[in-house]
Structure 1
């Protein structure tokens, strides 16, 4: 049954994300060299002698910066394209779709209004996740017993590590993980995951590689603190720092944090403000396109990442 479901998921994934060849005409050349960065996209510079019929017949539409003030002739041309049913795409939207990331450089009030998550899926998702966790409970309990025994043999003491994190609407909650570091290792302040590697024991490294140390967070999901999929929750100290340095950082707290997410599979761990701002772009993209289809994509990519890399995603 499980193998059949996985096969169906893979079929759906490739159906939704099958790459197609795209041809576009560009006005003003403001497309940030899209065609040189993506092999399946060809962009031609529009010339006045090219007719609307040629554009419609030989391309998938027109691309331009719709935030830019255009001349009267250009505005009329864009209107003619609309009447001829030629799609006109905003260059920033195309770039966002291709990069799978919202640009955080020029976030405006209007942009933020478009980042409202799907309210219907917000209500349905917790029910689906709780049902899935309960369905997997027998397997989870067996796995937890084995992990607990291995951890106790490696380093007797506390098996569960708890830490304060920031969740939806900025609410603080307690996050649970299997302890992957020696019990004698003391942490006096908030640190990035990349700074903790020297304290991790052998079993802990193995658990982290396959993300098995995150299993206790199923309890966080059932409690309503977290979701299986969403922006990764940060420590309060980091959140306060990022709120001062990164505009609109708090907007990532409009949905529940997750065990895995869009930023994790596309970027991995962050250890400074610059990489965190990049991560925010992925988080905002996830919120904007919040859906079952995107969550399914994340699940499949997470599994693939764990099976083919070091599990750092």
Structure 2
């Protein structure tokens, strides 16, 4: 198994070298077609090409040092490491007052991030790992399609051909096990804390106690939330202007397709538990006023109420466009836990402990649960969805937001999770 993974790493290195070349050369070549032949501009362009190649090499080197860690963290590290490296290149250019072509470097960065992310995401789906686990009450194998578990209970057991060892590093282990784990780590075999490994592989946090959250507090980093809010406002304003013709066309098609208003309004629970009215393009037949409110708020698989146009709008996520108005009103973010209908939220709060904690951050148009699980309504599935929400809250950062944005594009193309 380890030999297979070594071969896989060598195979991925070939793709990564090709990515470095493509991401640096393509923006350079495009700009070269339009640049004047004066020497200063050419020098700046050539230096930008060299910086792009260097940034790509450094990014691949950094990624390959952590890519053995399975799951979300390995993939999301592409965004954080590559962004930091290219920011460092910009700082060098500015401090050294070195001439460079900004548009080419930005294009190089975006291509590098996108292609490396796709390569890492694809590789993480294919990579098979053989992981030994020191089984205990707090460390047990969990369901993961790419992991073969080797259960060990005796520190003297011979463990061969494994990619990693996982154990509850916070448990009081016998001295024999502590010595054996130390020797395994010294031999160059990764040793993972079981809880950390489970979170990275599943993308979920099983939050039984509020004290288990990160940052040493129940509140997420509000400095980033303020920055996120500013970005939301700018992007939403620009998107609203750009998509205004599309929204008018969709509104007209919805009205022509079935009787009723073009915009659907629903009371949902938002930031800190405050209710607000969410706006979407109507995708269903107008509900009867005397129906059960809880049932009416649920969307089931192959729901007969969904209109012909509505099915397309849901799959493409175009029905969410009016929520740009909610963002400008300060009621929603581009990325965050999806706001739940008030009637369903009240039900889930009665059935699921700590459900209200998901309101600690602004609800979003798209979120971590949506790109991993899709739309759900029954209580058991909502519990699983809640673990995704807690993972997002715990790891709230620019990097997970960028990861969600990239995966949302893939979701829009595939239509995953739509009902």
Residue 262, structure 1, aligned to residue 374, structure 2: no
Of residues 173, 191, 212, the one that matches 1:111 is 212
Q: Which runs of 5+ in 1 are unaligned?
A: none
How far apart, CA to CA, are the structure 2 residues paired with 1:279 and 1:158? Answer: 31
Aligned-residue offset at 1:197:
2.2
Counterpart position of 2:35: none
Counterpart position of 1:128: 231
Asked whether the 8 Å contact 2:259–2:285 carries over to 1, the reply is: no
Q: Number of aligned residue pairs: give it.
A: 304
Counterpart position of 2:134: 27
Asked whether the 8 Å contact 1:211–1:311 carries over to 2, the reply is: no
Aligned-residue offset at 1:59:
6.9
Residue 284, structure 1, aligned to residue 390, structure 2: yes
Asked whether the 8 Å contact 1:9–1:296 carries over to 2, the reply is: no
Using the size of structure 1 for normalisation, the TM-score is 0.81
Counterpart position of 1:39: 146
Aligned-residue offset at 1:173:
0.8
Aligned-residue offset at 1:38:
4.4
Provide the secondary structure at the position in 2 that maps to 1:199: coil
Residue 13, structure 1, aligned to residue 123, structure 2: no
Call closer, same or farther: CA 1:310–1:103 in 2, change over 3 Å.
Answer: closer
Provide the secondary structure at the position in 1 that maps to 2:300: helix
Which has more radius of gyration?
Answer: 2
Provide the secondary structure at the position in 2 that maps to 1:136: helix
- The answer to which structure, 1 or 2, has the higher relative contact order (CA under 8 A, 6+ apart) is 1
Asked whether the 8 Å contact 2:214–2:394 carries over to 1, the reply is: no
Provide the secondary structure at the position in 1 that maps to 2:304: helix
Aligned-residue offset at 1:137:
3.0
Aligned-residue offset at 1:140:
1.0
Aligned-residue offset at 1:301:
1.7
User: 1:198-223 deviations in whole A, cap 9, x for unaligned?
Assistant: 22221222211211111110111111
Counterpart position of 1:303: 409
Call closer, same or farther: CA 1:292–1:12 in 2, change over 3 Å.
Answer: farther
Asked whether the 8 Å contact 1:100–1:285 carries over to 2, the reply is: yes
How far apart, CA to CA, are the structure 2 residues paired with 1:81 and 1:112? Answer: 30
User: 1:117-150 deviations in whole A, cap 9, x for unaligned?
Assistant: 3333212111112222222233210111111111
Aligned-residue offset at 1:68:
3.8
How far apart, CA to CA, are the structure 1 residues paired with 2:268 and 2:187? Answer: 53
Provide the secondary structure at the position in 2 that maps to 1:176: strand
Provide the secondary structure at the position in 2 that maps to 1:165: strand
Of residues 191, 196, 200, the one that matches 1:97 is 200
Counterpart position of 1:139: 242
How far apart, CA to CA, are the structure 2 residues paired with 1:223 and 1:272? Answer: 30
Counterpart position of 2:353: 247
Counterpart position of 1:237: 343
Asked whether the 8 Å contact 1:25–1:59 carries over to 2, the reply is: yes
Asked whether the 8 Å contact 2:335–2:363 carries over to 1, the reply is: yes
Please tell me the root mean square deviation across aligned C-alpha atoms, in Å. 3.4
Query: Where is the helix percentage greater, Structure 1 or Structure 2?
Result: 2
Using the size of structure 2 for normalisation, the TM-score is 0.62
Counterpart position of 2:273: 170
How far apart, CA to CA, are the structure 1 residues paired with 2:285 and 2:157? Answer: 69
Aligned-residue offset at 1:85:
9.4
Call closer, same or farther: CA 1:6–1:84 in 2, change over 3 Å.
Answer: closer
